């Protein structure tokens, strides 16, 4: 591929690989220019990333007690301590 094959002038360079980009091929992400190959896929990751999965996220350290039950137990313990 030579420069003569590009119909548009180079307007920017990919931050990741330094590839020359035209206004048709450049991709903007958070004010930074990337080529189509290196632009971060933020729209696809939003809401569906591995961190958002309930199966992989570290929910509660003690899996035997639900957060609600743990709260009630703590509340009862504090309540009893007021009467001891
Ligand atoms: Zn690139």
Per-residue pLDDT tens digits for 40-70: 986 554 444 455 555 665 555 556 667 788 8
Average pLDDT, the chain: 77
* CA 8–ligand 1 middle distance (angstroms): 18
* CA 27–ligand 1 middle distance (angstroms): 10
Residue 2 clears pLDDT 80, i.e. is over it: no
Polymer length of the chain:
84
User: Model-level pTM?
Assistant: 0.43
Contact between 17 and 37 (Cβ < 8 Å): yes
Give the model confidence (pLDDT) of 18-28 as tens digits.
Answer: 999 999 999 99
* CA 57–ligand 1 middle distance (angstroms): 32
Token pair 């709260």: residue? 71
């Amino acid at each position: 591929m030579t420069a003569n094959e590009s119909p548009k002038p180079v307007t920017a360079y990919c931050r990741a690989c330094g590839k020359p980009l035209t206004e048709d091929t450049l991709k903007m992400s958070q004010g930074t220019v990337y080529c189509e190959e290196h632009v971060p896929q933020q729209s696809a990751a939003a809401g569906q990333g591995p961190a958002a999965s309930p199966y992989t996220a570290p929910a509660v350290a003690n899996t035997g007690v639900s957060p609600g039950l743990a709260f009630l137990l703590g509340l009862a313990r504090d309540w009893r301590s007021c009467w001891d």
